């Protein structure tokens, strides 16, 4: 494994947002706004086929995936209702591609190489 600096939680979160952003652009979404602050929800506001889209992104390091907490989902659903928007959840997992063990893979490094686990936008859960 490299001797690079391990990503902070904020850096990991922002990398997850970049993964989702690229996916959405490739899928034809028009990105209107991106917020990288971990405490701001949703992170991505977009349009597609005349529909407003709100996306909450959560990122975790290997072997975990980002999870959506019920109180955040509730807050975003309220925002969506006021703005006639559709909500999606993006769960991202990041692994250190240069890790030789489970422990090393769980520590992504700044400017490192990564394995990305992202299966696209998921329908927003209702709690």
**Cα 124 to Cα 73: distance, rounded to the nearest angstrom:** 8
Q: Does position 58 have pLDDT exceeding 60, yes or no?
A: yes
Mean pLDDT calculated for residue range 51-77: 96
CB 113 within 8 A of CB 97: yes
Top-tier CATH class for 9-114: alpha beta
State residue 2's pLDDT score.
54
* pLDDT tens track for 75-107: 999 999 999 999 999 999 999 999 999 999 999
The DSSP string of 56-107 is EEEEEETT------HHHHHHHHHHHHHHTEEEEEEEEEEEETT-SSHHHHTS
């Amino acid at each position: 494994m490299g001797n690079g600096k391990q990503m902070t939680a904020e850096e990991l979160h922002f990398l997850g947002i970049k993964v989702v952003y690229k996916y959405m652009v490739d899928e034809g979404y028009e990105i209107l706004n991106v917020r990288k602050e971990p405490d701001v929800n949703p992170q991505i506001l977009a349009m597609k086929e005349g529909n407003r889209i709100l996306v909450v992104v959560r990122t975790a390091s290997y072997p975990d995936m980002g999870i959506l907490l019920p109180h955040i989902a509730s807050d975003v659903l309220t925002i969506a209702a006021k703005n006639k928007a559709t909500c999606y959840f993006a769960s991202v997992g990041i692994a250190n591609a240069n890790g030789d063990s489970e422990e090393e893979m769980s520590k992504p490094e700044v400017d490192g190489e990564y394995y990305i686990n992202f299966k696209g936008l998921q329908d927003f859960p209702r709690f």
